[in-house]
Amino acid sequence: MAAQQPRPKKAYTKFKMLDINKKPQ
């Protein structure tokens, strides 16, 4: 199903950014 998505990387980056914002290193 994930393969059906055109560019899951964009969403992944968004999630990563949110994660970083929530938990700053």
Which has more confidence, 25 or 14?
14
Instruction: Provide φ and ψ at 12, rounded to 5°.
Output: -60, -45
> Measuring CA to CA, which residue among 1, 20, 24 is closest to residue 12?
20
The distance in angstroms from the start CA to the end CA of the chain is 33
State pLDDT tens for residues 9-21.
777 777 777 777 7
Instruction: Tally the C-alpha atoms within 13 A of residue 16's C-alpha that lie toward its C-beta.
Output: 6
Question: What's the pLDDT score for residue 8?
Answer: 64
pTM of structure: 0.31
Could you give the 3-state DSSP secondary structure of residue 24? coil
Instruction: Tally the C-alpha atoms within 13 A of residue 9's C-alpha that lie toward its C-beta.
Output: 1
